[in-house]
Amino acid sequence: MSWFKRVKEGISTSTKDKKATPDGLWYKCPRCKKTTIKEDHVANNYVCPHCEYHHKIGSEEYFHILFDEAQYKELYDNIISGDPLEFVDSKPYTKRIEESINKTGLRDAVRVGVGKVDNQHLVVACMDFNFIGGSMGSVVGEKIGRAIDYAREHKYPVMVISKSGGARMMEAAFSLMQMAKTSAKLALLGQEGIPYISLMTDPTTGGVTASFAMLGDFNIAEPEALIGFAGPRVIKETIGKDLPKGFQSSEFLLEHGFLDFIVPRTQLKDQISTLLYMLSEKKTRQRKEKIEAAKSEA
Amino acid sequence: MTTFDFEKPIAELEEQLEKATSIAEKGKVDMSDSITKLEAEIEKTKKEVYSNLTGWQKVQISRHPERPYTLDYIQGICDEFLELHGDRNVKDDKAMIGGFGTIEGKTYMIIGHQKGRNTKQRQMRNFGMANPEGYRKALRLMKLAEKFNKPVITFIDTPGASPGLEAEERGQGEAIARNLLEMAKLKVPVLCFIIGEGASGGALGIGIGDRVMMLEYTWYSVISPESCSSILWRSWDFKEKAADALKLTSDDMLKNGLIDGVVKEPIGGAHNNPAEIFATVKKEIKRLTKDLRALEVDDLVMQRIEKFSHMGSYHEI
């Protein structure tokens, strides 16, 4: 049985001395399977340079992409969920919340940041899909409501980045009423002539679509995002047929007249900045330089 | 008449009563004693059964096939009604009806989901599941009411907004969202009555009112107990458990401050005495409209927005 015995010494390397490639040096696109150096992928706003697949990102990444020098002030991060119905499914809701907080380092499915985009003020409420599927419970409704109030108080434009599976079932009717709450707050914002931009990302469904996501003065979306009211599975079960290709995609919504435009994430900041500038007509330094550069190039 | 399992003890007693009465009618035996006893027994059993209903049993009553629907309420309450059709864009949604109705000389805009009584009607009414054009018709009529300063009454009774290819193509989400925003700032009193099923965004789409009232045996939540069961427990068998967990009954909703009041129904449900429930709802409409008309328009709108703004359960740490 000698062939089972290690004859030569020193072939095995102890684990601590193993020289493996460090984790996260490469990003492998789940769609085209091609690899990109992680740094380049981040620099490209988490969009695959080969196939333009938009990797799902969270609020932190969006804030970094949008705000000048990644500088922003986070607002209302002290709000955490209650358990109004003492809901228990496979585990108690309070435990689910606690575990999600520990797992994600987030306090709920939305964060609010205020900062500058090309030197123009903007309030951004951005949803996090990692936190219970980006579902809308009382905290999401309250924070979006307060973000709108903050925008009204300071006369800053406001943007909501949606990424949500819809309602948070463990808050049942409380969750439902967040649709009413956020829409009512937007009614107030609209009366004051403050711009509201809604950016829909993959996925935006259910009660989020049927409230603040669709109520933007500007409804925009990332490419190829799933956007709809009823989930594809529910519709498929209802009609008993397969859904047409591209159904409920950003491109489908644009075609049917529900989006102003689709914006690739690589151009997100630029487009938002342009929009804000067109509304305020304030020439910021960056804006001036950009226009001059474009002119001299021409 | 459809009888649910939990109503069997009552049905059995009623059967006995019927027999006793028919014997008495033939005049051969004096049955008055046992008839009185049975009647008392029935009353007692009814009270017992209907005061201890579970969430799921209330859901069943809310779907009772003989329960009055929106058009029944309109007929039972209004002196006159003129139905107005269409969203001026795509088509006329038969799952959502509306029009001007008069109640004792006052005109109201009355809007509601409409279910059907038989297979053909149910199909025509799409089981009370409105499409985007239904919500847009409702909004058009509400704006009309605002223009002519008439209060809005909505009757909510839907298993949900219609899920389908066309509904998505025409923007179901946008249609409901628009209604929420526009109803929040409507410059006339808005009363909402949940008369049967109040399922999710489909119900809320005509549910932003100064006073949102639930009839006693109705339910209102973000999802039906069946769907909740299938999502959380991956099977439809836990609907009773889901109905309890969702706290979807009128009592729970009032306790949680998510509605403004509960309208008492005839014992066992509105279908047992439609005339009685019509009278009750009519009285409520008159009372609530009077209260709301006393407010300045700006206060009315602000109070409505404030009310919904305060709904939620969270902690600040």
Residue of A78, A175, A187 with shortest CB distance to B185: A187
pLDDT at residue B292, rounded to an integer: 98
Alpha helix stretches (DSSP H) within A105-242: 138-154, 172-191, 206-209, 232-239
Q: Does B172 touch chain A (CB under 8 A)?
A: yes
pLDDT (tens digit, 9 = 90+) per residue, B15-59?
Answer: 999 988 888 888 777 888 888 999 999 999 999 999 999 999 999
B66 and B145 share one domain: yes
One domain for residues B80 and B21: no
Chain A segment 198-227 residues within 8 A of B by beta carbon are 206-207, 209-215, 227
Residue B317 lies in a domain: no
Predicted confidence (pLDDT) at residue B185 exceeds the cutoff of 70: yes
Task: Tell me which architecture the domain covering A57-297 has in CATH.
Answer: Alpha-Beta Complex (3.90)
Neighbours of B29 (CB within 10 A): 10
Give which of A238, A214, A229 is closest to A162, Cα–Cα.
A214
Give the residue numbers spanning the domain of B25: 5-52
Q: How many domains, in total, are found in chain B?
A: 2
Question: What is the predicted pLDDT for the residue at A234?
Answer: 87
Contact B201 A176 (CB under 8 A): yes
**B43/B106 same-domain check:** no
Amino acid (1-letter code) at residue A209: T
Tokens of A84: 């109004």
Distance CA(A83)–CA(B283), nearest Å, equals 37
| Contact between A229 and B172 using a beta-carbon 8 Å cutoff | yes
User: DSSP readout, B28-57?
Assistant: SS--HHHHHHHHHHHHHHHHHHHHT--HHH
- Does residue A223 have a cis peptide bond before it, meaning omega lies within 30 degrees of 0? no
CA-wise closest residue to B198 among B292, B93, B58:
B58
Chain B residues 241-260 with a CB less than 8 Å from chain A: 245-248, 253, 256, 258
Query: Which amino acid belongs to residue A236?
Result: K
CB spacing of B165 vs A169 below 8 angstroms: no
Size of interface A-B (CB pairs under 8 A): 191
Say whether A81 and B253 touch across the interface (CB within 8 A).
no
Q: Is residue B216 part of a domain?
A: yes
What average pLDDT does this structure show over B269-281?
97
What would the pLDDT profile of B170-181 be if each residue is shown by its tens digit? Answer: 999 999 999 999
A128 near A59, Cβ under 8 Å? yes
Beta bridge partners of A219: A198
Chain A positions touching B201 (Cβ under 8 A) are: 176, 179, 206-207, 210, 229
Q: Is B314 within a domain?
A: no
User: pLDDT in tens for each of the 298 residues of chain A?
Assistant: 556 666 666 566 666 666 666 667 899 999 999 999 999 999 999 999 999 999 999 999 999 999 999 999 999 999 999 999 999 988 999 999 999 999 999 999 999 999 999 999 999 999 999 999 999 999 999 999 999 999 999 999 999 999 999 999 999 999 999 999 999 999 999 999 999 999 999 999 999 999 999 999 999 999 999 999 998 988 998 888 899 999 999 999 999 999 999 999 999 999 999 999 999 988 766 777 777 788 888 7
Together in a domain, B218 and B69? yes
The answer, for A92 touching chain B at a CB cutoff of 8 Å, is no
Q: Are residues B27 and B171 in the same domain?
A: no
Residues B144, B271 within the same domain: yes
C-alpha distances in angstroms, A199 versus A70, A260, B13, B93? 19, 10, 62, 30
The pLDDT of residue A291: 75
Q: Which two tokens stand for residue B69?
A: 């629907």
Touching check for A45 and chain B: CB below 8 Å?
no
Is the same domain home to B243 and B134? Answer: yes
**Domain harbouring B147, CATH code:** 3.90.226.10
Regarding whether B245 and B172 lie in a shared domain, the answer is yes
Task: Provide the pLDDT for residue B232.
Answer: 86
User: What is the per-residue pLDDT across A210-249, written as a single tens digit (0 to 9) for each?
Assistant: 999 999 999 999 999 999 999 898 899 888 889 999 999 9
Nearest-by-Cβ selection for A238 from B164, B185, B231: B164
Residues of chain A with Cβ-Cβ distance to B176 below 8 Å are 210-211, 229
CA distance A122 to B270: 52
Residues 6 or more apart whose Cβ sits within 8 Å of residue B304: A184, B184, B190, B208, B209, B210
Calculate what percentage of chain A has a pLDDT beyond 90: 82
Where along chain A do its domains lie? 1-55, 57-297
Q: What is the mean pLDDT of residues B289-306?
A: 97
A192 reaches B (C-beta below 8 A): no
User: For a pLDDT cut of 90, what percent of chain B falls above it?
Assistant: 90
Identity (one letter) of the amino acid at B296? E
Question: Greatest CA span in chain A, whole angstroms?
Answer: 86
pLDDT above 60 for B246: yes
Burial of A232: CB neighbours in 10 Å, binned 0-12, 13-18, 19+: middle
B176 belongs to a structural domain: yes
pLDDT at residue A11, as a whole number: 61
Tell me if B308 and A177 make a contact (CB, 8 A cut-off). Answer: yes
Question: Which residues, at least 6 apart from A206, have a Cβ–Cβ distance to it below 8 Å?
Answer: A164, A165, A166, A167, A229, A230, A231, B201
Token pair listed for A51: 């196939």
Alpha-carbon distance of A161 to A201, in angstroms, equals: 7
Whether residue B163 lies within 8 A of chain A, CB to CB, comes out as yes
Whether residue A243 and residue B165 make contact (CB cut-off 8 A), yes or no, is yes
Question: What residue spans of chain B are helical by DSSP H?
Answer: 8-26, 32-51, 55-62, 70-77, 119-124, 132-147, 165-169, 172-184, 200-204, 225-232, 239-246, 250-255, 274-293, 297-309
B176 & B286 share domain: yes
Antiparallel, parallel or unpaired: β B190-199 and B106-113: unpaired
Give chain B positions within 8 Å (CB) of A235.
163-165, 168
ipTM given for this complex: 0.95
**pTM for the full predicted model:** 0.93
| Any A CB within 8 A of B51 CB | no
